[in-house]
A = this chain, B = another copy of it.
């Protein structure tokens, strides 16, 4: 059992390996399907935006100079020369002493340089308005290239497309967009004690949970999960399936193997693959010390702990950034905005390893408390109660109650 006492790989080294993985190829998709995808080509402005001087209010297009000095007590009087139709180039010009009705979004007619809000005017009759406020040139107007200038760089490859980015791409006239293909992530569950979730386990067996949590988590970070079922702890069987999954996936996740025997088997299978390179076998973290990271040609393999709670911590900290990296994300390690919170109790740790502790976040008096969700590592229930993780660094023996901590909220 000497293989138990493997040496560990610093987490910085693991992140360096992850940063070096190549992204998938690009594909072109409809922007209707692009939410959450990663941009693979630069977006530039195909035209000035909005493309014309545009009113931002309902009111009257005027020459600003005609309103100078106007007030409630001393209004300016302007002649109405017509209305600007939406979506059309005005066929009227605004000369001194005149005004044209204009709606929000309308194109300013020639001669005008500002808009007076309707609330600051009164129509005396069909042809005359009183103006009660002075406006400066440019008031309530967006100029033709104020938003974006033709050929201006707007978005870079690697940007994850959210609502705003998709709006901007539409504004640039693209109904299709080049994005990185979603990485295909194959999932293999191992362990003689693991049975499919929809069966009734015999005594001593447990249902396969990792396949299902991993499926959801892979979906959540932009991968395509593919489950290959449960494989017994036998070399030939596992070797055969790993070869198959490597061919069909960008990334392979082996989960299970919480016992030494299974862990040994997993690493033996990986070592037996033709061009396998083991980058990490054992990490200085808790939970998840037995984690394996390897490559096989251009493919990536992860060996995760068998306990679902441990496997999910390793997924959150390492595998999610890896899937994002392969998915072309320009900031694969970027976390959601952390929450600053006050720890509600002491937590012991050990020097020389990083501890990831699940916490529940509670709001109190306009600040957050981080309440550790503890319990034996084999339990599932704490997963339901936690909102995120805190990290206790290598060189500390723990954190005291009252310490300010960063909580990384769970992504999904």
Question: Once the chains bind, are B197 and A171 in contact (CB under 8 Å)?
Answer: yes
Query: Which residues of chain A from 90 to 127 have any CB-CB distance to chain B below 8 Å in the complex?
Result: 90, 103-107, 118
A296-330 vs B, Cβ < 8 Å mask (1 yes, 0 no): 00000000001110001000000000000000000
Residues of chain B with a CB closer than 8 A to A89's CB: 202-204
The verdict on A350 contacting chain B, using a C-beta distance below 8 Å, is no
6 of the cross-chain contacts (CB-CB < 8 Å) are: A87-B192, A87-B204, A105-B193, A163-B217, A170-B207, A173-B198
Residues of chain B with a CB closer than 8 A to A205's CB: 87
Measured CB to CB, the nearest residue on chain B to A87 is B193
Bound complex: CA of A339 vs CA of B341, how far in Å?
A: 11
Question: Once the chains bind, are B87 and A384 in contact (CB under 8 Å)?
Answer: no
Bound complex: CA of A169 vs CA of B198, how far in Å?
A: 10
Residues of chain B with a CB closer than 8 A to A258's CB: 103-105
Q: How many Å from the CB of A101 to the closest CB on chain B?
A: 9
The verdict on A409 contacting chain B, using a C-beta distance below 8 Å, is yes
Measured CB to CB, the nearest residue on chain B to A233 is B86
In this complex, how many residues of chain A approach chain B with their Cβ under 8 Å: the count is 110
Residues of chain B with a CB closer than 8 A to A219's CB: 35
Question: Once the chains bind, are B199 and A173 in contact (CB under 8 Å)?
Answer: yes
8 closest pairs, A vs B, by CB?
Answer: A103-B259, A87-B193, A164-B383, A35-B216, A175-B198, A167-B213, A170-B212, A107-B204
Question: Once the chains bind, are B361 and A166 in contact (CB under 8 Å)?
Answer: no
Which of B142, B220, B368 touches A163 (beta carbons < 8 Å)?
A: B220
Bound complex: CA of A338 vs CA of B144, how far in Å?
A: 36
Q: How many Å from the CB of A49 to the closest CB on chain B?
A: 7
Bound complex: CA of A44 vs CA of B22, how far in Å?
A: 44
The verdict on A209 contacting chain B, using a C-beta distance below 8 Å, is yes
